């Protein structure tokens, strides 16, 4: 772990194993951090924020450190990608793409660091001067997931650092190795000790301690809605600021005038890429009844050709599930779907081919005949499982899409300009893709409606999630007319 600029084991001396999803075998050991380790990390971050070199650094110098870090990430992208693939089983082609894209966050927010401008207001108080300044929140606790560990951490880390905060990261116990390698680059870039710290371990031990710590001023969490509730309750005890990027049951609507070949590729990208292990997965496919059968046939035929295998191989289309508990959950939901009366048009089991039996694989699975009241249509599976529903009218498509406790993302395919303009307004989701799916950018705000979270990541708005607005009143006359009245 990295605490206050020092690499260390846990205070208890305990370790735990992390497993390779492709082989199902342990490949690394990590320190099992606890509340004592979290306290040390938070104290280090607090000291760095209040009195260390970072606290005295001007904004443009912070930005220069972030530019330097971006260069180092580009040079180490291959190694970081290899570690992530080994840790969470996602495809090398995707992880390498993410590692090569991550530097853009540090370049973007590094450029914003010295452009956080306050304002002098034309206050209604006579000769009094009033201005607004923005100041960093303080110590940020970042609790991050296993599906895209570095990318989703950077969504929090880059704006937090640009704003002048210090950070303690608690990565998922299922995928922490790449995070430790990543933090080595901060040292090389010249970040002062204690600015960024990482404590590895389990959620109920290290994660809970971070969410509850009195010196943590803000929690940024990505994970399940269940985890989000726990974090939110813990943070509420000391009135911490909180941002939550949670789950989704995102609708993917195919209108009758869609380019069907392009839409099939979009649906595959939305649910079967990354083996369905993305919060924005388009797991509810809502298809117009006039094209339902032909579209499902095209989709099934294409996915029959999908190759499961070693995520490091360029020929693999679908990799394994990242964790054993998630594998069990995915298989359980497949059984639930069958028991509810859904029809399994493809997949529905673990593969029995040689080379796949030891890994945590699930065949790409498609269920038709799904009703929106079924659990398979309402609860997040987080695996390569797609539910297909029918609709007749645009109003019915909107009603089905919005009939969910979630609201993270939505997609639609149509050649109608009218629909492209009107439908995004009607869909209750933080991101809507038209004739595309699973596109993100450091410039585009990302976050959810309803149970999909609180706050936004990315874009200019994200930096203000890590700042506090302060009002300053200056009375140049140094006189108060009546001290017993509100001035």
**Catalytic hit among 84, 279, 380, 465:** 279
Measured distance CA(385)–CA(478) in Å, rounded:
69
Tokens representing 17 are: 């194993």
Please answer whether residues 181 and 198 qualify as being in contact, where contact means their C-beta atoms are separated by less than 8 angstroms. Answer: no
Measured distance CA(380)–CA(281) in Å, rounded:
9
**Catalytic hit among 84, 94, 212, 245:** 245
Pairing relation of β-strands 139-143 and 166-170? parallel
Pairing relation of β-strands 241-245 and 453-454? antiparallel
Residue 245 is a catalytic residue: yes
Phi first, then psi, for residue 74 (nearest 5°) are -60, -40
HSE-CB at 313 with a 13 A cutoff on CA atoms is 12
What dihedral angle (degrees, nearest 10) is formed by the CA atoms of 91, 453, 444, 299? 40
Positive or negative CA dihedral for 222, 223, 225, 226?
negative
Q: How many CB atoms lie within 10 A of CB 388?
A: 24
Pairing relation of β-strands 119-121 and 409-413? unpaired
Residue 457 is a catalytic residue: no
Measured distance CA(207)–CA(198) in Å, rounded:
11
What residues are annotated to the active site? 245, 279
């Amino acid at each position: 772990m990295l605490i206050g600029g020092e690499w260390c084991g846990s205070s208890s001396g305990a370790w735990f194993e992390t497993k390779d999803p492709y082989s199902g075998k342990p490949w690394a050991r990590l320190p099992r951090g606890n509340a004592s380790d979290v306290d040390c990390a938070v104290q280090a971050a607090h000291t760095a924020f209040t009195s260390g070199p970072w606290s005295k650094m001007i904004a443009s110098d912070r930005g220069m450190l972030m530019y330097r870090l971006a260069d180092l990430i580009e040079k180490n992208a291959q190694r970081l990608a290899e570690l992530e693939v080994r840790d969470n089983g996602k495809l090398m082609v995707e992880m390498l793409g993410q590692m090569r894209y991550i530097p853009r966050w540090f370049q973007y927010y590094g450029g914003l660091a010295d452009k956080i401008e306050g304002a002098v207001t034309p206050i209604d108080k006579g000769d009094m001067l009033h201005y607004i300044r923005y100041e960093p929140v303080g110590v940020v606790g970042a609790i991050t997931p296993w599906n895209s560990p570095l990318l989703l951490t950077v969504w929090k880390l880059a704006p937090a650092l640009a704003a002048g905060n210090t950070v303690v990261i608690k990565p998922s116990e299922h995928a922490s190795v790449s995070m430790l390698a990543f933090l080595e680059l901060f040292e090389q870039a010249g970040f002062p000790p204690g600015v960024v710290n990482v404590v590895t371990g389990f959620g109920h031990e290290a994660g809970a301690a971070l969410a509850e710590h009195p010196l943590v001023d803000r929690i940024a969490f990505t994970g399940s809605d269940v985890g989000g509730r726990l974090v939110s309750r813990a943070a509420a005890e000391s009135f911490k600021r909180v941002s939550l990027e949670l789950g989704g049951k995102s609708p993917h609507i195919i209108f009758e005038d869609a380019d069907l070949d392009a839409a099939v590729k979009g649906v595959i990208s939305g649910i079967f890429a990354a083996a369905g292990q993305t919060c924005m997965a388009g797991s509810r496919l809502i298809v117009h009844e006039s094209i339902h059968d032909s579209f499902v046939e095209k989709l099934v035929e294409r996915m029959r050709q999908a190759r499961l295998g070693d995520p490091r191989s360029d020929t693999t289309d679908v990799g394994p599930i990242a964790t054993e508990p998630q594998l069990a959950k995915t298989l359980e939901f497949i059984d639930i779907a069958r028991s509810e009366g859904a029809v399994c048009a493809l997949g529905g089991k673990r593969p029995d081919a040689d080379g796949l039996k030891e890994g945590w694989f699930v065949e790409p699975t498609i269920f038709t005949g799904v009703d929106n009241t079924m659990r398979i249509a309402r609860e997040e599976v987080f695996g390569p499982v797609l539910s297909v529903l029918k609709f007749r009218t645009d109003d019915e498509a909107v009603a089905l899409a919005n009939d969910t406790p979630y609201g993270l993302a939505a997609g639609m395919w149509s050649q109608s300009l009218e629909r492209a303009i009107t439908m995004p307004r009607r869909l209750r989701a933080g991101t809507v893709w038209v004739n595309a799916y699973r596109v993100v950018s450091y410039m585009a705000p990302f976050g959810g409606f309803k149970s999909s979270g609180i706050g936004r990541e990315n874009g200019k708005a994200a930096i203000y999630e890590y700042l506090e607005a302060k009002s300053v009143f200056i009375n140049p006359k140094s006189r108060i007319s009546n001290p017993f009245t509100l001035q």
